[in-house]
Amino acid sequence: MVRTLRNQTPLTLLLFDLDHFKFVNDNYGHDVGDNLLIQVVKRVNNALRENELFARLGGDEFAIILSHLTCASDASYVAQRVLSSLNKPFYLGDNTITSSASIGMSIYPDDSSNAVDLFKHADIAMYRAKNLGRNQFSFFDTEMQAQFIHRFETENKLKAALKNNDFKLAYQPVID
């Protein structure tokens, strides 16, 4: 990131996690889930080029940093390669598992000038990809953050209203 800041070159952060990974762990066991993660890493690694940094963040969450792009839309090609690499079923012992991923992307310096916000924005974009049906990617835009904050604040206010018994039930007769 220091070199990117110094050279003022764009950097794209891709965050992704596996869709319905909890289902795999819950139904097949953590050993199968661990083997799935190993196979996912191999496939994604094979789909990437040498200048694309790939890391597991924890659980089923991964990050890819793209620092040698000529334009931001090139990140779409990388995201599509990652999604395509997961299309074929995984054969794990006696189990055949299909998997997909949801990818969120944020771009330095357009979306943020610091790493913390870049991660936060990519995470928001990843959840948008999940909400749009999974197995796809989404770029961050500022409207997403406003929607995310609004939804978060509304949820907190509703929880507080429930706790404080602020809701009142009213009956309205139906007349024909």
Enzyme catalytic residues? 60
45, with CB counted inside 10 A (0-12, 13-18, 19+), is exposed
Nearest-10 crossing angle of helices 30-47, 21-28: 140
Sign of the dihedral through C-alpha 27, 32, 34, 35? negative
- Element of type H or E holding 47: helix 30-47
Phi, psi (deg, nearest 5) at residue 51: -90, 10
Phi-psi region of 46 (alpha: psi -120 to 50; beta: other; left: phi over 0): alpha
CB 69 within 8 A of CB 53: no
Question: How far, in whole angstroms, is CA 170 from its chain's centroid?
Answer: 41
